[in-house]
Structure 1
Amino acid sequence: MLTRRGTHLRSELKIKGRKTVTMYYNLKAGQSASAKDKNKKLVARLLQDRGADRILFLYLAKEQAREAVMQQHIYRHPAIGNLINEYIFGDRYTEHFGNQLLKATIALASTCIEFCLKEWTEGHFDNTTFTVSENSVIFASHLADLDRFERLTIRHNLYRKLAAKLLTNARYYAGLGDLTDLAPTAGRMHEQATDTNDNPLKH
């Protein structure tokens, strides 16, 4: 179960999440002043602490340049799907997801991406200790943002569509087929799995 493997996941996500962030946000490891300056400005923009822009890194790249009120497709950045596909979802967790990903799964991926981006705050990679106390607060914030996203878009059912899409992609990536291939007991297993508000970082 996801929450019972928290210690292992923290280590695995920290190591492998760095590769995802470096690749999908186009961060350069060069030592030149220009490369560092470019990295620093990019990360500062993605992590700026100003209202809705605080989670700019969760939007598709083409949406990041738009005005906040015009931005669409939050949680659609490919780094999120990549992290879920490769490092969170797999045969060992299949029976716990039902027909959509738990909010805690998306929040965990978002927390990992934010942590890894912060390691580039000064324009170069800085190996930072992943502390449960600090990142649990960030995880809770992402979970609250997902709750808010669901409430604000409930009329169009956008959260469920997003969660189902992420799960469908993860299943295909793992070679498990479409959601229609789920066993009849999958729904019951989903209900028995971790609560959506449970924090996998603490286990």
Structure 2
Amino acid sequence: MVKVQKLTENDGRPRARDYDDVTQEFMATVIREYHARLCTQAPMPDHAQETVLLSASWARGCQVTSVNLARSPQLVKLVTIRGSQIRGQLKTKLRPLVEAVYGFHSSQSKSAIKKNRALAEELKEGMNFAFKVGFRYGRCGFLKAPLIQKIVNMMWFANKHDDGVMFPDHFKPFPHPALALVLTGIECCIDEWATGTRMDVAFTIQEYRGMFESHLNCLREFEEATKQYGVLSGICNKIYEAGRFVATFVCLSLELTATCP
């Protein structure tokens, strides 16, 4: 068992750079593993789920680094704080996409406010926002709304070093909990337009775990209803493959750009 060596004291939240090199390397491995497990297994964890994820990630850190580092409350907090960071990052990326893709308009005019409010209600009705062809033209293509793939690419397949590529054991096929998180994040951004004028809505476990569980249950029911045809597994496989293709293409483009005179 290796004891933690803290090199710098600070009064704020724990920072990895405050510790020795061995601890920093170990924690980088644990945090990366925890991040992947959190997104794919329990994006809105209760305390028990959080403990299980932490233990599995810590064990992975020991395996990869060959270091058996003693846990401390400060180091545990360094890992578990990733949950709120992931949700914040997802919402930050989604907010402008939701506004642009679904056609919300920032305006103080009564007509715009009325349209925004009606649009938010229509999108939330029966998960209209998750369909490729929306409510105005007859719904079809559940879970094939382009926004879903776009945000998946941005969150987990931005490049060949991103989690979706580096952790295929976790992300292939694209997992139901991560998909439910995406749906919940989209709905949170739609909720910001519920009054017709965009108002900030906190994307917290306390406010949105119930909705997350509802989306996850919906996916399970959809899988059960279509299991004869493997519909959901096919969709999740395509999401993963499309994301991996984008990550590879982005890196290839950057490499070609760098080598061109």
The equivalent residue for 2:223 is 150
Q: Which of 83, 104, 115 pairs up with 2:177?
A: 104
**Map of 1:14-25 to 2, 5 A cutoff?**
14-25=91-102
Deviation at 1:145, TM superposition (A): 0.7
The reply on whether 1:64 has 2:135 as its aligned counterpart is yes
Contact 1:24/1:78 (8 A) holds in 2: no
Q: Which of 24, 37, 49 pairs up with 2:114?
A: 37
The equivalent residue for 2:144 is 76
CA separation in 1, counterparts of 2:178 and 2:157? 9
The equivalent residue for 1:187 is none
Structure 2: unaligned runs, 5 residues or longer: 1-34, 39-79, 251-261
Structure 1: unaligned runs, 5 residues or longer: 178-203
Deviation at 1:176, TM superposition (A): 6.2
Deviation at 1:66, TM superposition (A): 5.4
Deviation at 1:105, TM superposition (A): 1.1
Equivalent AA in structure 2 for residue 114 of structure 1: E
Deviation at 1:159, TM superposition (A): 0.7
Equivalent AA in structure 2 for residue 65 of structure 1: R
Contact 2:117/2:196 (8 A) holds in 1: yes
Equivalent AA in structure 2 for residue 85 of structure 1: N
SS at match of 1:155: coil
SS at match of 1:156: coil
Classify 1:97/1:114 alpha carbon distance in 2 versus 1 (closer, same or farther; 3 Å): farther
Equivalent AA in structure 1 for residue 150 of structure 2: N
Q: CA RMSD in A?
A: 1.9
Contact 1:101/1:167 (8 A) holds in 2: yes
SS at match of 1:7: helix
The higher relative CO (CA closer than 8 Å, separation ≥ 6) is in 1
The reply on whether 1:26 has 2:103 as its aligned counterpart is yes
CA separation in 1, counterparts of 2:157 and 2:208? 21
SS at match of 2:141: coil
The equivalent residue for 1:180 is none
CA separation in 2, counterparts of 1:162 and 1:64? 21
Equivalent AA in structure 1 for residue 236 of structure 2: A
Q: State the percentage of identical aligned residues.
A: 27
Equivalent AA in structure 2 for residue 92 of structure 1: D
Deviation at 1:24, TM superposition (A): 1.2
The equivalent residue for 1:198 is none
The equivalent residue for 2:162 is 92
Equivalent AA in structure 1 for residue 156 of structure 2: I
Deviation at 1:97, TM superposition (A): 3.5
From the CA coordinates, give the structure whose radius of gyration is larger: 2
**TM-score (normalised: structure 1):** 0.76
The equivalent residue for 1:170 is 243
Contact 1:80/1:109 (8 A) holds in 2: yes
SS at match of 1:73: strand
Equivalent AA in structure 2 for residue 64 of structure 1: F
Aligned residues: 168
Contact 2:112/2:196 (8 A) holds in 1: yes
CA separation in 2, counterparts of 1:7 and 1:131? 7
Contact 1:47/1:57 (8 A) holds in 2: yes
The equivalent residue for 1:200 is none
